[in-house]
Structure 1
Amino acid sequence: MGGEQTRRTGFILVICGAVFWGIGGTVAQKLFQQFAIDVNWLVTTRLLIAGLLLLTVQFFAKDRTQIFDVWKRGSTASRLMIFGLLGMLAVQYTYMASINHGNAAVATLLQYLAPVMIIVYSILRKQASLTRRDLLIVALALAGCFCLLTNGSVSGLSVPGPAIVWGVLSGVALAFYTLYAVPLLKQYDSLVIVGWAMIIGGVSLSFIHPPWQINLAAMTPEAYWYLIFVILFGTMLAFWFYIESLQSLSPKESSLLGSLEPLAAVGTTVVWLKEPFGLFQWMGAACIVGMILLLALNKK
């Protein structure tokens, strides 16, 4: 009975984490559009606060000695710095920039091209051979992107160019983030690695846009609530819940339920923000979600 209860908790955690992630992008879009929040400021503030919160959780709930042990070896410290800058900061900034220029639905779906990029990278490096499943995954990704970005019309794009560029770069950054973190995550708890990576990214971006430089006149009580949601639910709790779910669920189960993220982003963007979404764009979204499910069902 205890095991079943633990699994039920795991399911609740991963579902909440994925939905928080998806809605967090939509709430960020609201901040950009309605309150003219600067994307640099939001990414800086989000990374610094969420990173500190994750390390605080590690300190009180897990092995606190790891928090500073990660800096004691030069090779690990340098890898963490690269991961923080080219992985964490790159993923967060490109994703938010794509939302800023377009919308959260398209940005999230484009970011989910990362698994396809990893497949292509592995095949080019001869680390894996091309399978029929890989071809189907790539075909779904390409068809999904075509429908999503053109809405079925070859004469023009239905999504702003900068949003597409930042969205694709977000997928590239996520692919790097996923591959580069593996050796670090084998040695240290994920809360330590991601917490420090967020702080590294946030401190670096502070030189471009310090977190204390904000137009407080534009910040209404509503805007503060949205900001709290993006930082607390859309970043810190989303990550923590997903990691905790892996304690009681298999990676396959967590990955499958994690595909609720793009669905949450698309749903809230269309219903809450009233963004237009054409028939072909829905078909494109279905192709990309299908691709995610196909990947999650594959044990490799």
Structure 2
Amino acid sequence: MQIKFDQVSADYQLGPIRAKNIIDNVSLQIAPATFTAVIGQTGAGKTSLLKLINGILRPSSGSIQVGEFTLDHSANKATLNQVRSRVGMVFQFPENQLFAETVEADIAFGPKNFNFSAEEVDQSVYRSLERVGLDQSLLKRSPFSLSGGQQRRVALAGVLATKPDILVLDEPGAGLDARGKQEIFALIKKLNQQDRVTVLVVTHDMNDVAIYADHVLLLDQGKVVTYQETRAFFSDQDQLTEWNLELPDTLHLQRQIERRTGINFKQISLTQTELIDQLIEEKLL
């Protein structure tokens, strides 16, 4: 499903607190089956952008095309429900949203809410549990008896059970150790590559951006600064310096080697394998 923003602005309001134009005149087109890292400083509008795609937040002006659906200020409840059945949103620390007595009931909640048949609910529960790498023996257990990493997988399984075409995630690795974070991102990448799910992930970790994303969306004060392929993004040193962005570890190491040897490599290295290949080519290994 293609995502297209057409001059979209949006305000944020919670009770008496209101922030105008948290998203400010954004025009943007995201191709199907891509993996986009959404980055920017706190308050840049990253989470609000995800909420607009999911229909949780409505535009104050402009429109968003999500597949065949159009979201604007006047979008009705039926349209919003259809979009939410196709766009799965995973909030930061999603395990805090677990509520049911069993893992099975928690995962089944979404499909039941979207009027899946009993047979479809069962199939979705088992399939989504398998997709997140959890065993069926956990289905009758309380989700609160699981480890933090397992709880996050259960929360993700609950979103996947509705069979979304688009997955938007807000800091999915937050609070996890290095191994747990790597496992979650590897799982999301697998969904993107094998199931052709369109993915947008908010992250502050440039290593995650370099390793997993094929596009980077940089926001500042609700505006799009740039939307580029990942390699082009990290190749623009002036832009990285201007926005005070850290280099991924592998690229940082490459720059140190280039300074010490006086050799400029042919391209930037976004993975350890790429760096090793270039070191071999330059006869530095």
Length-normalised TM-score, structure 2: 0.27
Length-normalised TM-score, structure 1: 0.26
Q: Which has the higher contact order (CA 8 A, sep 6+)?
A: 1
Larger Rg: 2
Richer in strand (by share): 2
Richer in helix (by share): 1
